[in-house]
Each structure stands twice: as C-alpha cells, then as structure tokens.
Structure 1
Amino acid sequence: MLDWDAHYAARASRMAASEIRELLKLLDQPDIISFAGGIPDPELFPLDAIRASYDGILSDPARAALALQYSVSEGYAPLRQWLADYMGTLGVPCDADNIIITNGSQQALEFLGRLFINPDSQVMVARPTYLGALQAFNSYQPTYVPFPETAEDEAAIAAKGSPRFGYIMPDFQNPTGVSLTMEQRLAALDLAERLDMPLIEDAAYEKLRYEGEALPPLMAIEAERKGGIDNGRVIYSGTFSKTVVPALRLGWLVAPKAVISKLVLIKQASDLHTSTLNQMVMYEVASKTMLSNLERIRATYNQRRHATLNALEKYMPASVSWTKPQGGMFIWVTLPDGMDGAEVLGRAIQDARVAFVPGSAFFADRSGRNTLRLSFSLMTDAKIDEGIKRLGALLSTMISEARQAAE
C-alpha cells in the first residue's frame, strides 16, 4: 500500500478536523441536548420566498439559461450592486467592483489566507478566535500572534516584521459573544496603521444585535478617515448564512479594487464562479425579505439568549463565570483553573447527555482549556433550561471531586 502521508505537501500536517463539525453529528441523537454548533434555526428560513424564486427563474427559459450557464468569477452583477447599496447603509461607500461573491464566508477566509500568508509569517488573531478562521489559515503555515496588550508586546511583534494581516470579529465574536467598543475599534485601526498590516473584519453576526447601540464597521470608520475604502487597509467579510439561509453557501468580500482583482484570479483557479442560480435566488430573496425578516430572527434568538443567561444564573456553581453578549449566537463560559473543557465534554455526553464545544478549539496554541462555548440558537427555552441544569449539576460534581482530590 502506498504511504500517502509521505506524499502529502507539508501544509497537510496543519489540517485537522473541526471539533464543531464532529460534534454536529450528535444532533442525530435525539436524547442529546446540544449547545455545540452555531446553527441557524430552520424555522426562520424564508422557505416560501426561496421556493418561489427558484420556480420563477427555472420556469423562464431566458433566465434559466443564464442561471444554469457558466458566469463571471466576480459574481452576479445585480447581487453585487445590491450588496454595494447595503454596505452604503452601514457607512461603507463602495461599488460593485469592490465586491466578490464567494461560496460562503469560509471560502472568503481561505482565499485571504491563500493571498496573504507565507509559511511562518505572522498572522494576528484574538485569543480566543473563530475556529473556522484558524482552519482556513492553517494550511498556509502561519505563525499566530495575539493582538498586543502592551507597547512591549507590539514592539516584539514589529521586530519580526509586519504581520501578514490581523483577523478580527468586532460584533458578537464567535466564540465569546463579546463586541468591540468604539474605543477598541479605533485602537485596532491605529494598531494596523502602526504595523502596516491589512485588517480582515469578519462581520458574520453583525445584524444579530438584540440590545445596545449599533457601532460602525471598522471599514466604515477607516473609509471616513482615508476618504474611501480603496485608500484603506480593511477587508470586510460578510455572509447570508445567519440572516437568510446557510445552504445556498453565499458570502462576500468587500475590499480595495486592487485586492479584488487578485481574489478574482484565485476564484478562477479555485471553482471558476459561485453558482449563478443560487446567486440569482439570493438576490431576489435578500432584496425582498432579509431586512424585514430580521425582526423575527432577532426576537427568536434574543428570547433564547435570555433563557440561557437565566439558566446559567440559576444552575451554575459560583466558581463558574460567563459572558453576557448583546447579540450573536454564543456565550463563553470560564471554568475554575485546572478544569479541562474536553474532559468535561466527555463526562457531559456520557453522564448528562449534553454537548458543547471545548474552548481550547478556539485558541491557536490550544490553550484556554478551562473554557467552553455554548450556542443557544437552535433550542427551545425548555431544552435550554434542562440542558444548563444538567451541565450545572455535572460541573458541581466535578468541582467537588477536584476539591476532594486536592485535600
């Protein structure tokens, strides 16, 4: 038998299965209460609008011919123009030539990794950060560095050369649910300027705000500073997966035209173009229903957020803490020092029939072992209460066991 490992490129050693993808398989077990995947509720999908759009396109010979043919790599022009107008409402002045359509935001992140990362070059990420971003970047063999907390930290990073880019999620970050304040947004832009590095702004959850005042995207702030996005260093990544539907696999990047021209070449080499049929459907559905459907989406997830936070207050041991996000789909839980989220997960699945994602999955160096991520997007209030009750009881038992073992 051929030794396949000996034939793989060196980058293959950085490829690893997603803990979240593996945990999603537990959804097939009806007795598992899963807080694992950040999955939109299918009850909120605009099914009728999607069905009507597909029917309308495919029943019209001229439109069907366009939808089923090869197309341009940049993306369907009406969808790109609609997105340019949408970005304008966020304070980002751009046109369709500043936008490329991708197969979900995951492909967008992978393309950016391919475009910017050299082996062993520095990439700046938060601690913790989005697991999917680490997976997208890992194949290109970067060295990860955290956003600096002190001038000395920044100097140490600068001494090794400018990072290839910084990756940041300003609104309701996956996994913590935490958002950047206005002061922190300005500081991130100032840091990128001092280090002369691009800044990738992942806005996957930007529209899922349930309380508090919305803050402008980093790209909007910088566009005002620099007189337009073509003069700036921010690249904006958006997705329809959380606000419309994930299965059409449609995301987009907004960037200076010089960057878009390179991304188009990567798109051509990768898959030529994203499905035109899906883009045409998304254009019709998003332009007609996305903004109006957001009120229903926000109300549903906000109720589940409240249910989760209330259950945590009711059932968690005093030594456990958690974030209180104003939006998004996630709550970040910190366990007492010395506890291991992966070990807790094993016990939780076996003894309590509850699932979540261990926090170390979201650290490039696999630290943060005493943390875990909960997603509240897919469950009823009753299941949330029961799941947190079970998890709280298990953690109380494990904390007591650890205390007894230490005595």
Structure 2
Amino acid sequence: MLAWNHVFASRASRMRASEIRELLKLLDQPDIISFAGGIPDPKLFPAEAFKQAYAETLNGGEAMAALQYSVSEGYAPLRQWLQQEMGRIGIECEPDNIFITSGSQQALDYLGKLFLSPDDTALVTWPTYLGALQAFNAYEPHYDQLGFANRTPESYRSLAQSRGGDVKFAYLSSDFANPTGQTVSLEERERVLSLARELDIPVIEDAAYQHLRFEGAPLSSILALDIARSGTIEETRTIYCGSFSKTLAPGLRVGYVVAAKPVIQKLVLMKQAADLHSSTINQMAIAHVAERHFQAQIEKIRTTYMARRDAMLDALSRHMPVGARWTKPEGGMFIWVTLPDGVDGADLLQNAISMEKVAFVPGQAFFADKSGTNTLRLSYSCANETAIEEGIARLGRLVKRHTQNAA
C-alpha cells in the first residue's frame, strides 16, 4: 500500500476540515437547535422563479447554448446585469472587468493562488472568514493582523521579510462580516486603502453580505472609494468579490469578481486550467432571476433576517450572564459573542450539544493564530423566532454554569 503522506505536496499539510462544514451535519438532527451554519434559509429561496428560468432556458432557443461549453469569463448577459448593479453602488466598470466564478469561494482560492508564494504574508482581520483562511492556506502563507490603527506600513513589511517573504495583499469583509457581523467604517476603509498604497499591495474586498443591510446608511464599497481616488477602475488596486449565494441560491455556485482588467485576465487563465468555465445553465438561470426578481428577493430576506436578528439580540440581553458581550450588527447573518473570562468556546460546544441540544461555532476557528478561545459565532438566518428564544435560553443556562465553574 502506498504511504500517501510522503508523496503529498507540502501544501497538503495546511489543509484542515472546516469546523463549520462538520457542524452543518447537525442540521439534520431534529432535536438540535442550530445557530452554527452561516447559510441562508432555504424556505426563502425563489424556487418558483428558478423553475420558470430553467424551463424557459431549456424549452427556448437558449437550450443548446445552456448545455454547451462556454467562455471562461462568464455568461455575457449576467456580466452585463452585474455591470449595471455595480454602477448602482458606485462601481463604474465594463463587462470585461467582471469574471464569473463557481461561488465566491473559488474566487478566494484563485486569488490566493495568484498572489501567494510560500512564506509570503497575507493581512487578515482577527477574526476573519474561515473559508478565506482555508483557501489561502494551500499556498503556504504566513498571516499578520490587519488592524485599523497603531501599525505602520514598515512594521508589516519588516515582519513579512523576516519570515522570508513579502506582504502580498490585505483581505477583509467590509459589510456585516462573517463571523462578527461587524461593518468596517468609512474611515477604516480609507485607512486600508492608504495602507495598501504604502505597501503597494492589492485589497481583496469580500462583499458577500453587502445586500443584507437592515438599517443604517449604506457605506461606499472599498472598490468604489478606490475608483473615486484613482479616477477609473483600471487604476485601482481593490478586487471586489461578490456572490449570489446569500441572496438568490447557494446551490448554483455562482459568484463573481470585479477588478481591473489585468487581474481579470489572469483569473480567466486560471479558470481555463481548472474547470474551463462555471456552469452555463446555472449562470443563465441566475441572470433570468436576477433581472426579474432581485430587488423583491432582497427585500424579502432582509425583512425576515432582521426580525430574527432582533429576536436573538433580545434573547441574549435576557439570558446571557454578566461578563458576556456581543456585537449588534446592522445586517448580515451573524452575531459574535465574547464569553466571560475562563470560558472556552470549544468546551462549551461539547456540553451544548450533549446537554442542551444547541449548536454554534467556537470562535477560535476564525483566528489565524488560533486565539479567541472565549468567543463564539451565532447565526440567526435559519432559526425562527421561537427557536431563537428557546436556543438562547438553553445556551445562556450553559454559559452561566461554565462561568461559575471558571470562577
């Protein structure tokens, strides 16, 4: 029998199972109240609209094209719709600035592959999206904490060089971030752009949740701010990653990248080598549904998720012990809880599942340095208000017991 480990590439040692993907298996257990999966509620998917879109595509003149190979850049009408949508939020671009991916997760993988050599440094927030760490890990980088104050460009550069590489990019989720639910302020966005200019690196803006704002004034995306500074998208350094997974349907795996053409051209070459193109028929279906139903769908999911966020914030205020604190997001799917000192999120999860039948994601998974042991992520997207009240009550009882034991 082949001893596989000695033939695996060195990057294989950096691959780890996603704690979140493992926890998703709990969703099939009817006695578990799960706040673990950061996934949209399937009851809110525009299923009838997609049935119509697929029927029209397969029964009409597009059928042969829908089932055929296609261009690597993506389905032209979908890119044209995205061009209009980007213009609506201040990102003036052309279809050639837009590249369709198999979900935004593929975009992160491609960008890690494009920029990172072994021992280079990626700047990420503490905590950050676990899927980004998984995508970047394969390319063997180091990580440094992307802060918004008290760090000079030279401090980032010197640390990266001492590790044997260079700073290659800054990655952050700008609106209602996974896992914290927090939004990067306008001042912080400008500061990131200034830091990137000093370091001469790109900024990867993860905008997966941008459309899920419940309240407050929308903030300009980092790419829009970059265009305002530079005058044109071709002079910018920001790479905008978007997705239809949180708005229309994740199962179709349709995401997109908006950036200057030199970046798009490299990503197209990667696509050609990896999987040729994203599913043609799925892109067509997304284009049909987006053109006809996008704004109505956004309003529907915003209304539902806002009610669930409010229910969870209210329940946390009544059931959590003194010493616990949490974020109050203006949108998205997540609330980030910092537990009282001495309470470990991973230990809490074991008892939460076995004793209280409630699930969440321990926060440590979202830290590149594996800190944050006393934190956890709660998602309210798939639980109704009744389940939220009961689940948070159970969780609060358990946190109180762990707090007393830690004292």
Interval containing the TM-score (normalised by the shorter chain): over 0.9
Asked if the contact 1:148/1:154 (under 8 Å) is kept, the reply is: no
Match of 2:38 in 1: 38
Matched ranges for 1:100-179 at <5 A: 100-148=99-147, 150-152=149-151, 154-159=153-158, 160=160, 162-179=166-183
- Shift, 1:332, TM fit: 0.3
Structure 1 residues without counterparts, runs of 5 or longer: none
Quote the Cα distance in structure 2 between the aligned partners of 1:313 and 1:294.
Answer: 28
Quote the Cα distance in structure 2 between the aligned partners of 1:274 and 1:237.
Answer: 16
Q: Which amino acid aligns with 2:324?
A: V
Q: Which amino acid aligns with 2:56?
A: G
Match of 2:81 in 1: 82
Please point out which of 354, 362, 365 is paired with 2:358: 354
Match of 1:401 in 2: 405
Asked if the contact 2:363/2:376 (under 8 Å) is kept, the reply is: yes
Quote the Cα distance in structure 1 between the aligned partners of 2:167 and 2:213.
Answer: 31
1:254 matched to 2:255: no
1:26 matched to 2:26: yes
Q: Deviations over 1:345-376 (max 9, x none)?
A: 00100110110000000001111000000000
- Shift, 1:149, TM fit: 5.2
Matched length: 402
Quote the Cα distance in structure 2 between the aligned partners of 1:40 and 1:127.
Answer: 24
Please point out which of 281, 301, 304 is paired with 2:285: 281
Calculate the TM-score normalised by the size of structure 2: 0.97
Match of 2:380 in 1: 376
Asked if the contact 1:235/1:254 (under 8 Å) is kept, the reply is: yes
Quote the Cα distance in structure 1 between the aligned partners of 2:299 and 2:280.
Answer: 28
1:209 matched to 2:213: yes
Q: Which amino acid aligns with 1:363?
A: F
Secondary structure at the aligned position of 1:247 is classed as helix
Quote the Cα distance in structure 2 between the aligned partners of 1:325 and 1:359.
Answer: 17
- Shift, 1:185, TM fit: 1.0
| Ranges of 4+ aligned residues in structure 1 off by more than 3 Å | 148-154
Q: Which amino acid aligns with 1:286?
A: A
Secondary structure at the aligned position of 2:127 is classed as coil
- Shift, 1:152, TM fit: 4.9
Segment drifting more, 332-341 vs 147-156? 147-156
Secondary structure at the aligned position of 2:252 is classed as coil
1:308 matched to 2:307: no
- Shift, 1:39, TM fit: 1.1
Match of 1:331 in 2: 335
Q: Which amino acid aligns with 2:21?
A: R
- Shift, 1:154, TM fit: 3.7
Asked if the contact 1:175/1:330 (under 8 Å) is kept, the reply is: yes
Quote the Cα distance in structure 1 between the aligned partners of 2:80 and 2:388.
Answer: 40
- Shift, 1:153, TM fit: 5.3
Asked if the contact 2:342/2:403 (under 8 Å) is kept, the reply is: no
Q: Which amino acid aligns with 1:104?
A: G
- Shift, 1:293, TM fit: 1.5
Q: Which amino acid aligns with 2:48?
A: D
Segment drifting more, 141-150 vs 227-236? 141-150
Secondary structure at the aligned position of 2:65 is classed as helix
Asked if the contact 1:333/1:372 (under 8 Å) is kept, the reply is: yes
- Shift, 1:224, TM fit: 1.1
Structure 2 residues without counterparts, runs of 5 or longer: none
Asked if the contact 1:308/1:384 (under 8 Å) is kept, the reply is: yes
Match of 1:47 in 2: 47
Q: Which amino acid aligns with 1:331?
A: I
Match of 1:6 in 2: 6
Quote the Cα distance in structure 1 between the aligned partners of 2:220 and 2:148.
Answer: 23
- Shift, 1:337, TM fit: 2.1
Once superposed, what is the RMSD of the aligned Cα atoms?
1.0
Quote the Cα distance in structure 1 between the aligned partners of 2:298 and 2:277.
Answer: 28
Match of 2:242 in 1: 238
Asked if the contact 2:153/2:198 (under 8 Å) is kept, the reply is: no
- Shift, 1:59, TM fit: 1.1
- Shift, 1:151, TM fit: 4.6
Quote the Cα distance in structure 2 between the aligned partners of 1:330 and 1:45.
Answer: 19
Quote the Cα distance in structure 2 between the aligned partners of 1:206 and 1:156.
Answer: 31
Q: Which amino acid aligns with 2:39?
A: I
Secondary structure at the aligned position of 1:164 is classed as strand
Q: Which amino acid aligns with 1:139?
A: A
Q: Deviations over 1:183-227 (max 9, x none)?
A: 111111111111111000000000100110000100001101101
Q: Deviations over 1:316-340 (max 9, x none)?
A: 0011100001000000000122221
Quote the Cα distance in structure 2 between the aligned partners of 1:292 and 1:389.
Answer: 34
